[in-house]
Chain A
Amino acid sequence: MELSSINKNNIRETVLQAIKKAKALQPALNAVVTFVDVEEQLQKLEMMDPQLPLYGVPVVLKDNVNTKGILTTASSRMLSNYIPVYDAHIVEKLKDAGAIIIAKASMDELGMGGTNLSAYTGPVNNPYDTTRISGGSSGGSAVLTAAGVTPIAIGTDTGDSIRKPAAYNGVIGMKPTYGRISRYGIIPYASSLDHVGYFSTSIEDACVALSVLAGRDDRDMTSSYEAVPNYLQSLNSDMQGKRIAIIDNVQNAITDSKIKENFNTLIEQMKQRGAIVESVHLNEDLLSVILPTYYILANAEATANHSNLDGIRFGMREDGDSVEEVMIHSRTKGFSTNIRKRFVVGSYSLFVENQDKLFRKAQKVRRLLVDEVKHVLDTYDATIVSATGSIAPHPQDSIDEQLSSEYLIAENHMILGNFSGYPSMTIPSGFVDDMPVGINLMAKPFDEQTLFNLGKAIQEETGLKGKTVEVKL
């Protein structure tokens, strides 16, 4: 579904249709945690200007976006009863732009995962093949966009949590520059890596969404003062002279020949459009430690970020004989084993005796990796790689952690966008075995326009603008 297909003369009907569709798909996809009552929003809309960029547009929020008075669980048992007392910054932005929030979407528990198998409400299924995973952690938002429920769905991205499910579900997944969109009111995973982003089915819609969501928020000190451009107005698919770098470590690590072929075809098309596409080689040793580096940094921050979830002031509470016992019991029962394991890893890397060899070392490696990327982007407009090394796997074949070199690089390279904070976007590039695949682009800080322009050219080549899938029920 695209923004342009919204009938502004019959918003109520459009919104109710979207909800109806999501409800019909719920048994097959299991993408929604909470349906939002839209009556009040529809009433408020009557007072608003129909020219607003998202006037009457149904949108979905990942369930880690705080919505005042509406259940927000981050797909964790710990927050299964949590009703926020305030709206996230982007909720205000969306509502001010006329959007109607229709649902809160499933995710990996607290954003910590890449499969969406860990959600408290159960796995989310891929709309192209419901026996396959959606990917995560923004799985619910990705599949609802892919299934044509809403034109835009909000996600968050700490490792590749928007860009990987985007590839698996054949939609655009945009993670803008760190600081471009305020994180105020987003239940965090790892603050220095967390980004707010979104899914759409066309580059044009992606342009509109970023213009709405971006901008300085005084409640987020990391949010940028950089002016927000009108991306749609500047959209230009002319590739003449554009310098694009293929990170060959990533392409070399991929073994699936069909995915390679899909990528190579697209590269040829880009060259024919006049783009200068060249291979660059990054330090392989550094690239192969992206995952452990990420694992240490993300979990260290996460263990502190989630220390507020103690059962004392909100969320699930499990009784005990002392305050300490209440905390221990609540946290033991409230988090899944995998989350607790991650907290242990994060904590361990922060112990005073381990900080030098784990946490601080990981920070240094992060800096070195960012230097590698920066070096490439000093001379190129963007990098281009296959987003994933495979199509969406079946649950039993999906892994979150594996130490094969293929997995380490081919499945984790998009974390570079989180380490650096540089804008990164996944866009559908076609199909392999009837499942969608995507390519990933990364550009200089605050140069989202280049991503959109490249994306526009790719969209023209693939003909996948507005592509959604009819789920076989």
Chain B
Amino acid sequence: MKYETVIGIEIHCELKTKTKMFSGAPVTFGAPANSCVNEIDLGHPGILPCVNKEAVRLAVMAATALHCEIDPLVKFDRKNYYYSDLPKGFQITQQFHPIGTGGYVEIESEEGVKQIRLNRIHMEEDTAKQFHNEAGTLIDFNRAGTPLIEIVSEADMRSGKEAAAYVEKLRSILHYLGVSDVKMEEGSMRCDVNISLREVGTTAFGVKTEIKNLNSIANVQKAVEYEIQRQSELLDQGESIIQETRRFDEAKKATVSMRKKEGNVDYKYFPEPNILPIRLADDWIKEIQEHLPELPDARIQRYQSDYGLNDYDAGVLVNNRDLANFFDCVCEHTGEYKLAANWTIVELTAALNKANYKMDQNPCDPKHLADMINMMKAGEISSKQAKTVFEEIMLGKDPKTVVEEKGMKQMSDTTELLRMINEVLDQNPKSIEDFKNGKDRAIGFLVGQVMKASKGQANPAMTNQLIKEELSKR
């Protein structure tokens, strides 16, 4: 039987704030366990929540970038359940009035650009982190209360590729906005994929499974593809799908069952009485919306229209925000955009890989790279020399100093060049004759001879020009 895959994705994303969603305790990834907590995060009796304005600002940014409608009346609700990672016994979330509703994300699919609709985006607080070992369960409350946004898509994706493209695109947008670290491997972005199959041509949803613990975008695709395979085999055998939560096992490259869903849990949601509704000022929202950082699509557009880059180069740069930001800095000091893109994408990336540096450890000053590019363009150094210069730039050196120290400057002194050219012409009467007989390639030979005589330091363009002039005189 032919099946259609139906995928919806919920993404939890930690907001990049200094303090927690409802307490003044610091948010610091990797701090010693239970060192970033206060009585509020531990759910001690008598504590009250206080909404983090910065978290609301970041959520408004995200909702705007994702084309959501923003509810200016911020309200919170309690989601009640008992679990050891939930200190208050309830989570403060936005069940009834999410900060953003609707909206969409555009992805590249096999049929071209496709809009994945969003259901909602809401703010909430994170739970504590649990570590299970033989001795028992250890709880680190540092994460408890960290601000989150949850972004819920509609069931609009139809393949593992689309699911991965959606997560990738969302990650990129949130990264460009600067609202989150979006590191899946560190858990600052977490992704739950709901997936079901149905017979092609039907509209009712099949029984779905939820896949958790996906720590990379590649695994999103792998897990979905495995799950499609698993579910379709079951259905082909006439068996039914069990509604359950599964996790992706990297070693087995398979999804494995975590727990059955026994009906829907009633979380007994009700409005949080300790936070009265907060009316966001229209001006405040407008101010945020008018100062959104440039988003990935806009940047690709700018690279194409302003810098004349092709699809591929623009895409590669924008895919890596830090690389793109570096490229922008280079372009502030040179008009040679295409060259700047090439050097950034090819040479810089290779050099960083070789040195095992991450982008934030990049020793290359963008102005230095721009200067070097300008020197190439002006004929002061050859492209071959540039590679040597670049190696030194990666050590933090100024290209001008490098060129001087290594005596690399191309010979652009006309008198000296003319002396060499005439020497070469005198030694090659045959070539002069060939030229006079209309054989243009003789020039190439002569230029080569001059380059040889100058040990590569002669400016090729200038040499070419001068040889032509000298030949016409003879």
Let me know if B423 is at the binding interface, CB within 8 A. Answer: no
| Shortest distance from the beta carbon of B58 to any chain A beta carbon, whole Å | 19
**Contact A66 B46, CB 8 Å, known A307-B82, A308-B87:** yes
Q: What residues on B are CB-neighbors of A221 within 8 Å? A: 48-51, 274-276
Q: Is the CB of B46 within 8 A of A84?
A: yes
Q: What residues on B are CB-neighbors of A187 within 8 Å? A: 45-46
Q: Give Cα A355 to B77, complex, Å.
A: 14
Q: What residues on B are CB-neighbors of A219 within 8 Å? A: 48, 50
Interface 0/1 of A394-413, CB less than 8 Å to B: 00000000000000000000
Q: Is the CB of A327 within 8 A of B82?
A: yes
Q: What residues on B are CB-neighbors of A304 within 8 Å? A: 78, 80, 89-90, 268, 270
Please pick, from A74, A183, A218, A312, the residue contacting B50 in the complex, using a CB distance under 8 A: A218
Tell me whether chain A's interface is mostly helix, strand or loop, or mixed: loop
Interface 0/1 of A347-359, CB less than 8 Å to B: 1001110010001
Q: Give Cα A74 to B266, complex, Å.
A: 29
Q: Is the CB of B82 within 8 A of A310?
A: yes
Let me know if A26 is at the binding interface, CB within 8 A. Answer: no
Q: Is the CB of A185 within 8 A of B90?
A: no
Let me know if A376 is at the binding interface, CB within 8 A. Answer: no
Q: Is the CB of A313 within 8 A of B274?
A: no
Let me know if B177 is at the binding interface, CB within 8 A. Answer: no
| Shortest distance from the beta carbon of B315 to any chain A beta carbon, whole Å | 46
Let me know if B84 is at the binding interface, CB within 8 A. Answer: yes
Q: Is the CB of B87 within 8 A of A359?
A: no
Q: What residues on B are CB-neighbors of A184 within 8 Å? A: 46-48
| Shortest distance from the beta carbon of A74 to any chain B beta carbon, whole Å | 7
Q: Is the CB of A310 within 8 A of B89?
A: yes
Q: What residues on B are CB-neighbors of A183 within 8 Å? A: 46, 48
Interface residues of B in 20-54 (CB under 8 A from A): 39, 42-51
Let me know if A314 is at the binding interface, CB within 8 A. Answer: yes
Which residue in chain A gives the minimum CB-CB distance to B51? A221
Contact count band on B: 20 to 34
Q: Is the CB of A84 within 8 A of B45?
A: yes
Let me know if A47 is at the binding interface, CB within 8 A. Answer: no
Q: Is the CB of B274 within 8 A of A308?
A: no
Let me know if B137 is at the binding interface, CB within 8 A. Answer: yes
| Shortest distance from the beta carbon of A108 to any chain B beta carbon, whole Å | 16
Interface residues of A in 292-337 (CB under 8 A from B): 300-301, 303-304, 306-310, 312-314, 323-324, 327
Q: Give Cα A104 to B84, complex, Å.
A: 30
Q: Give Cα A352 to B82, complex, Å.
A: 17
Q: Give Cα A56 to B46, complex, Å.
A: 27
Q: Is the CB of B44 within 8 A of A85?
A: yes
| Shortest distance from the beta carbon of A19 to any chain B beta carbon, whole Å | 25
Let me know if B407 is at the binding interface, CB within 8 A. Answer: no
Let me know if A428 is at the binding interface, CB within 8 A. Answer: no
Which residue in chain B gives the minimum CB-CB distance to A350? B268
**Contact A307 B90, CB 8 Å, known A221-B49, A312-B84:** yes
Q: What residues on B are CB-neighbors of A222 within 8 Å? A: 48, 274-276
Interface 0/1 of A130-154, CB less than 8 Å to B: 0000000000000000000000000
Interface residues of B in 80-134 (CB under 8 A from A): 80, 82, 84, 87-90
**Contact A188 B46, CB 8 Å, known A304-B270, A308-B87:** yes
Q: What residues on B are CB-neighbors of A312 within 8 Å? A: 84
Q: What residues on B are CB-neighbors of A310 within 8 Å? A: 82, 84, 89
Q: Is the CB of A307 within 8 A of B46?
A: no
Please pick, from B44, B82, B87, the residue contacting A84 in the complex, using a CB distance under 8 A: B44
| Shortest distance from the beta carbon of A263 to any chain B beta carbon, whole Å | 34
Q: Give Cα A313 to B42, complex, Å.
A: 8
Let me know if A79 is at the binding interface, CB within 8 A. Answer: yes
Which residue in chain B gives the minimum CB-CB distance to A326? B84
Let me know if A225 is at the binding interface, CB within 8 A. Answer: no
| Shortest distance from the beta carbon of B234 to any chain A beta carbon, whole Å | 31
Q: Give Cα A119 to B42, complex, Å.
A: 26
Q: Is the CB of A300 within 8 A of B270?
A: yes
Q: What residues on B are CB-neighbors of A218 within 8 Å? A: 50
Q: What residues on B are CB-neighbors of A186 within 8 Å? A: 46
Q: Is the CB of A192 within 8 A of B273?
A: yes
Question: Most A CB atoms within 10 A — which of B44, B49, B275?
Answer: B44
Let me know if A88 is at the binding interface, CB within 8 A. Answer: yes
| Shortest distance from the beta carbon of B312 to any chain A beta carbon, whole Å | 51
Q: What residues on B are CB-neighbors of A220 within 8 Å? A: 48, 50, 274
Q: Give Cα A103 to B88, complex, Å.
A: 28
A-B contact pairs, 10 of them (CB 8 A): A85-B39, A86-B44, A185-B46, A188-B46, A192-B273, A221-B276, A222-B275, A304-B78, A310-B89, A313-B44
Taking A74-B45, A301-B273, A347-B268 as known contacts, 19 extra A-B pairs with beta carbons closer than 8 A to each other, sorted by chain A number, are A66-B44, A66-B46, A85-B44, A183-B48, A187-B45, A187-B46, A188-B45, A218-B50, A219-B48, A301-B270, A304-B268, A306-B89, A308-B43, A308-B45, A308-B88, A310-B89, A313-B42, A314-B42, A351-B266
| Interface residues, chain B, with chain A CB atoms under 8 Å away | 39, 42-51, 78, 80, 82, 84, 87-90, 137, 266, 268-270, 273-276
Closest 8 CB pairs of A and B: A307-B89, A350-B268, A192-B273, A191-B273, A308-B43, A187-B45, A185-B46, A323-B84
| Interface residues, chain A, with chain B CB atoms under 8 Å away | 64, 66, 72, 74, 79, 82, 84-86, 88, 183-188, 190-192, 218-222, 300-301, 303-304, 306-310, 312-314, 323-324, 327, 347, 350-352, 355, 359
